[in-house]
Each structure stands twice: as structure tokens, then as C-alpha cells.
Chain A
Amino acid sequence: MSFRKRSEVIGGPPGVSPRTPAGVSRPLRPAVPGRGPIAPGTVPSRAPASPAGHVPPQPPSARRAQPPEIKNPAIRPSLITSQPTISTGGADLDKILLHQGLPLGHSLLIEESGSTDFASVILRAFASQAIIHNRIDKDQLHAHVVVIGVNPQWSNDLPGLYKGSSKEQKKAKIAANESKISVSNLANQSTRENDMKIAWRYGLKQKVEADAANDTDYTHQFDITQKLVPGPAATDISYIQLTPDYHTIIERLEAIVQKYESKVCRIVIPGLLNPSLYPPQCSSPNFIIPFVHSLRAVLRQHPNTALISSLPLDLYPRDSTVTGVLESLFDGVLYLQPFNQEMSQLIEKAYKNEPSKIQQGLVNIIKLPVLSEKGLMMIRDGEYAFKNGRKKFEIEEWGIPVEDEGEEKSTTKDIEF
């Protein structure tokens, strides 16, 4: 008894019958309809066979009629509302937004108090994420970044991909060396391939790998100490300079968004109303409210867009009218509240043996896209804390650290019961 591979056609390669003598043509009609050898180029069908046993070939137009599957690795359905959602460039931020990212057609405002600029880390990761998405496929662009109000030098500081800890980088180097063609590598490779032979036969391995690749393409980890190399190209990013007339900005934005209609357009507005970027007249209600309202209209009209912006709260406190209106016009609002000196000292003292646990401030949720507008109470004050490290902008649940009162002294006295 001999064994054959499942995929191998019984009777040898199609068109050649071992039982038929050479020169004698074998009829194509099989003994059992639908069980015969598959002619090359035809698709096996489970439909009942025609009375004559002949399956009429499908016209090419019928095959083409199926809608082409549009795949953009930058987009995923929201976990809550199933709306198309994009990653913000930070897995933790995606998680606290509850949608696993920012739903397209919506906006996020990052407010920050104090003299720090943690918000810019989030904004830059948001932009970098788009550029990394553009580098997944060689000939296809998936996203475009539009930066409003800053000069092109802003993109020089975009963070690069996190390549792992030094240990992981060494492992990656070894893996890279192993993948090079050499006699020893080829010898090792053949043994590894044998191990996977069964899985390969059923196509399982390829599927798992494809799924894993799709998962990793959606969001990436960025290293703020690394620069994005090579920097963004002109097809990746556009800049819109500020003008005292908000109509011009909106018109330019709409033109760019329409140009890149088939791609995800990520709009970034760093340091909204920061006096070093915005002229004084921009903080007047005649400019800022119509400007943000028109941006909201653009987002709703073009569902391939998403906006992120930062606002310095020391200049425009939360109880000011401007901030109140901005909070009502943006779909999502997060407030980064860095710890004061006393709190920072307490945390440093509590985690003196574990410096990686030291958090830098609180992340207060004021509004979440879609959910807050539906009437859900989404305000979360002091429930999350952030720490900005080389590895990533980490957001975790906040708990007041317990301060150890020195090392516990061992009991010297015998306890008598």
C-alpha cells in the first residue's frame, strides 16, 4: 500500500493518464461527475454538475463582478461601535479610548497643564504611525498626515520604531545573521523545515503568520529617543501654515483631504493657541470657535479623516470659555496632569528600587469619542496615570504608591505564647 499526498491528483499530472497508452486520447468526462481531474485554470465547484457531467466554465466577467476587497492595515472596526478606527500610535492610549483607537471622522484633544510637553509625544506618535503604515507595502500608500500651524521642521523629531531592549536587539541580530545564505545556516534551516512539514501541508502555518502580520501592522511601538529614518516624504505629510483667516486654512485642508480621499488622513494640530505659534488675534472667539467648528464639519464630511490636537491649559485653563467651547466641539478630550514636585518625590521614594514604575502624571478622561455624545458618563478623574519612557507612552491604572518605612527589622525577641 502506498501513500499519496492529498493534493496530488490521482492518475498523475492532469492530462496524462498512466493507464492510457501513449497516443490514445483519454475522454475528459470522468466516471463520477465532479470527481474527475481538475482542468488547469478552472475553479472546483460544489454546485451540482450539469446533466452531461460538464461544468460550464464561468465567464471572466462573473468572477470580476465580486467587489474588490479593500484592505488598509491602518483601519480596524471599533470594539464598541464597529466604526472604522485607526490607531493613535500608542497601544495604551488606544485602549483607554475604548474603541481600540480613534474612530475615523472624529477628533481628540489632549490638554496639558504645567510646563511639560508630554502631549507632543502623543501627537508625534500619531503622525509617525501614518508614515509607518505607508511603509508596509512598497507600492501603496495607506495614510497621509496633515500638520497645521507648525513649520516642516516639526517632522524632524518624529519618533522611530522601537527596536526592543538591548537583549532583544541582540536576538534580532542573531536572527538576521541566521537568515543570511551560508552553508551552516542552510543545514540548520533544512532541519527546521522538517519540523514544520505537517503544518505546512495544511497551510496552517502561513495563515497564522498572515494573521500575526495583520495584527502588528495596525499599531506600532515608538521610541522617542530614536528618529524616524528615513524621514517622511512629500507624499506622506503636508503642512498648512496659519493665516489670520480661518477660511484659507479650511479650504487648503479640504483640498488635501480630497486629494488623498482613498487614504486615511491624519490631521495634527500641535500646541493649539500657543502664543509662540499663533498670533494674538487667533485666540479671539471670532477665529478659534469658527475654526474648530469648521474642522469638525470637515471631519464629518470626510470619513477618511481623524484629528488630534494639543492645548496648553496654563494659558487657557479648564474653566475658561475658550477651553469649555473646545471641549464641547472635540469628540474626545484627555487631560494630562503632571504630578507636582511633592507627589513626584513621594513616588520616587516609594519606587526607589523599581525606577521603571515611576509615573509622571495623571491622565484624566473628560470625553470619549462617540460614547460621550451618546450620553454616556465617561468622565474619569484620577483613574489613570502615565509614564513616558523610551519604550512607549504608557498609561496604566493609577493607585497611590505605598511608602515603605525602611526595611523591616527582624524580630530578635522570642515570642512566647
Chain B
Amino acid sequence: MSNQQQDLIFFQDNSLLSEEIITSESSVLSVISHVQGTSPSWLLNSLIENGLNGTATLINNDLNKKRSNRAEVFFVSFLHSKDFYIQNCKKNGLDLGHFTNFHFIDCFTNLFTKYIKDFKESSRGVSEIFGQIEKQVEAVGGTRKIVFIEGLELLLLSNAGKANDLLSHILKLNRKCRHLLVVSAQDSPQIVKLHANTTQDPAFEVSDFLVKLYHRSQLNINLQPLATGRANDITGSLTISRGSVPVESIIPGLRVVENEYIYHVTKDASIKLFYR
């Protein structure tokens, strides 16, 4: 383990959300997975900042050149309200309420009281939700678009949607933006059961969805606690790996830098990353 604090990068051009992806005509898919105890909200805040400004003050000191309106950032959440991100991004020096290029699509507040009321027609509800998301993404002009989507597994766990339907919606949405980041819990065996035999088990659907998603992704980021147990000065480990479809095959010259970091998030929201 190195003692020197490191900057987090995903691609070989020392970037997080690469400019080459945003300016390209291709669509990149990334998966951010986490488990109980390693919530990725600190990472998402920094990625939002990177998408909006080009900076990442808390996790990468080299990315310090501010570019206003770098990209249109859409955040779709099935788990949190907009206030949660407005509050948490303050530590990154962002007031999301004032950014015209930040668009929060709230799928949390009325998910099961308005969109999916009747589970017999839940697939129609899911289609409606994705229809609205796509409409909002399309309504904003330009092509420099980054979309985050969080908590999709809830639709599968509540039997509101099927893995294949959701996957088809996700890929449709991916085509409408340059970079789509899917954030999902991956606790095993509670949420992901790779050896689930019965299709009636909601965990089967989630496993099916994630496995298929991993077969389509270009970048995978995984956050998990230390296998050795809790430590006072380490929160967990962050692994960056290439997806099944290499990013260089769709954007020549760009490459994912595979790395494993250990990180520490403190109560005052400062983040330290070290190579493992």
C-alpha cells in the first residue's frame, strides 16, 4: 500500500468523465455498484461536479480548470430527493439549485403513489417513467449530455419491472446521451443471487439485469468494504475495471485505467484515496 494520497482517474487521459466521450458521437455505459456501508454518494457528488464544471475538488487536484456549462447533467433517482444532492454537493462548492445545466428527474417522491399504482399494469408504469425521462433528456438541446440513474433495482425487487424490459429502456436512454452511469446496490445474497433458481425470486431479476448490464458496459466501478473488517482510517476499496465492451472499440485512443484504491471518507466529507 502506498502512503501517498492519489487522485482518482477513470481514463488514461487523467479524467473522470472524459472530454473525449462527451464530444464523441458514441454512447458510453458505466456501472457503479456498491454494498451496505459503502454508499457512493461522495463519488456521485464529485462526478456531478466534474460533469458541470470539469473540476473534482475533493478527489482529483489536477482537475482544477473550471469550465462553465461543460455538459448537461441529468440525475434520475429512485432513492433520493433533489434536496439530498443539493445538500451534499455544497461540500464540493456547488449550489445545484443555481445550475441551469443540472436537471434532476425525481422518480422517488411519487414512484409508488403516482407512477406505479397498480402492479397488474406495472410494466406500463415503468414505460411511462422511462418515456418521461427520455422526453426530458431530449428536450434539452445539444449533444453533450451525461445521465446518472440511481436505484433502478427497486423496480425489479418490487416486481414492478422485468430485467429485459428495464435493460431495453436503459439502452434506449443511453443512445440519447454520451455517457450513462447506472448506480446500483449489489449486496449479496440479499439483492444479487447469482445462483437463484426460481424466476419468482426478485433477486433473480436483479442478478439477471446486472449481469446483462455488465456485458454491455465500458467502465465498471465497484465500492466495497474491506474484507478484513472495519478500520478506523479506511472506509472501503474502490475498484475500476474495464467493461465487457472496451471503450477503445467505440472511441479510439481512449482507455480505462484499471486500478484499485482504498479510500477514506470522514465526517466532514473530506476524501482521501490511496493506491492499493
Q: Give chain A's interface residues, CB within 8 Å of chain B.
A: 80, 246-247, 250, 285-286, 289-291, 293-294, 296-297, 300-301, 318-321, 323-325, 327-328, 366-367, 371-381
Q: Is B252's beta carbon under 8 Å from chain A?
A: no
Question: Which of B39, B81, B191 is the most central at the interface, judged by chain A CB atoms within 10 Å of its CB?
Answer: B39
Tell me how far the C-beta of B263 lies from the nearest C-beta in chain A, rounded to whole angstroms: 9
Please tell me if the beta carbons of B230 and A377 are within 8 angstroms of each other in the complex. Answer: yes
Q: Is B267's beta carbon under 8 Å from chain A?
A: yes
Contacts of B119 in A (CB 8 A): 286
Q: Is B75's beta carbon under 8 Å from chain A?
A: no
Please tell me if the beta carbons of B42 and A285 are within 8 angstroms of each other in the complex. Answer: no
Q: Interface SS of chain A: helix, strand, loop or mixed?
A: helix
Please tell me if the beta carbons of A321 and B157 are within 8 angstroms of each other in the complex. Answer: yes
Please tell me if the beta carbons of B113 and A294 are within 8 angstroms of each other in the complex. Answer: yes
Chain A to chain B contacts (Cβ below 8 Å), 21 pairs: A247-B117, A285-B202, A289-B157, A290-B112, A297-B111, A297-B113, A301-B81, A318-B190, A319-B190, A321-B157, A321-B193, A324-B187, A324-B190, A325-B190, A327-B36, A371-B267, A374-B39, A376-B235, A377-B236, A379-B36, A380-B230
Contacts of A247 in B (CB 8 A): 113, 117
Task: Indicate whether A297 sits within 8 Å of B40 (C-beta atoms), given known contacts A324-B187, A374-B265, A376-B265.
Answer: no
Please tell me if the beta carbons of B42 and A374 are within 8 angstroms of each other in the complex. Answer: yes
Question: Which of B40, B190, B225 is the most central at the interface, judged by chain A CB atoms within 10 Å of its CB?
Answer: B190
Contacts of B84 in A (CB 8 A): 300, 373
Contacts of A320 in B (CB 8 A): 190
Tell me how far the C-beta of A195 lies from the nearest C-beta in chain B, rounded to whole angstroms: 46
Contacts of B201 in A (CB 8 A): 321
Cβ-defined partner of B40 (8 Å) among A250, A319, A323, A375? A375
Task: Indicate whether A294 sits within 8 Å of B36 (C-beta atoms), given known contacts A286-B158, A289-B154, A375-B43.
Answer: no
A219 to B242 alpha-carbon distance, docked (Å): 52
Tell me how far the C-beta of A59 lies from the nearest C-beta in chain B, rounded to whole angstroms: 37
Contacts of A300 in B (CB 8 A): 81, 83-84, 108-109
What total count of A-B pairs have CB within 8 Å? 110
Q: Is B37's beta carbon under 8 Å from chain A?
A: yes
Tell me how far the C-beta of A383 lies from the nearest C-beta in chain B, rounded to whole angstroms: 9
Contacts of B185 in A (CB 8 A): 328
Residue of B nearest to A374 (CB): B41
Contacts of A366 in B (CB 8 A): 36
A80 to B267 alpha-carbon distance, docked (Å): 8
Q: Is B38's beta carbon under 8 Å from chain A?
A: yes
What 6 A-B pairs have minimum CB-CB distances, sorted nearest first? Answer: A324-B190, A290-B112, A289-B158, A375-B42, A377-B235, A375-B265
Please tell me if the beta carbons of B158 and A321 are within 8 angstroms of each other in the complex. Answer: no
Contacts of A294 in B (CB 8 A): 111-113
- Apart from A319-B190, A328-B79, what are 17 other A-B pairs with CB-CB below 8 Å? A285-B158, A285-B202, A294-B111, A297-B108, A300-B81, A300-B108, A300-B109, A301-B109, A319-B189, A321-B191, A324-B190, A371-B267, A374-B42, A374-B265, A376-B265, A378-B37, A380-B230
Residue of A nearest to B39 (CB): A375
Please tell me if the beta carbons of B109 and A297 are within 8 angstroms of each other in the complex. Answer: yes
Tell me how far the C-beta of B158 lies from the nearest C-beta in chain A, rounded to whole angstroms: 4
Residue of A nearest to B225 (CB): A377
Tell me how far the C-beta of B40 lies from the nearest C-beta in chain A, rounded to whole angstroms: 7
Q: Is B259's beta carbon under 8 Å from chain A?
A: no
Contacts of A289 in B (CB 8 A): 154, 157-158
CB within 8 Å of A: which B138-163 residues: 154, 157-159
Tell me how far the C-beta of B218 lies from the nearest C-beta in chain A, rounded to whole angstroms: 24
A297 to B79 alpha-carbon distance, docked (Å): 9
Q: Is B110's beta carbon under 8 Å from chain A?
A: yes
Residue of A nearest to B110 (CB): A297
Q: Is B247's beta carbon under 8 Å from chain A?
A: no
Q: Is B52's beta carbon under 8 Å from chain A?
A: no
A162 to B233 alpha-carbon distance, docked (Å): 40
A408 to B108 alpha-carbon distance, docked (Å): 65
Residue of A nearest to B37 (CB): A379
A246 to B111 alpha-carbon distance, docked (Å): 13
A319 to B187 alpha-carbon distance, docked (Å): 9
CB within 8 Å of A: which B75-92 residues: 79-81, 83-84, 88
Residue of B nearest to A303 (CB): B83
Residue of A nearest to B156 (CB): A285
Residue of B nearest to A372 (CB): B39
A61 to B89 alpha-carbon distance, docked (Å): 40
Please tell me if the beta carbons of B159 and A286 are within 8 angstroms of each other in the complex. Answer: yes
Task: Indicate whether A375 sits within 8 Å of B190 (C-beta atoms), given known contacts A294-B113, A366-B36.
Answer: no
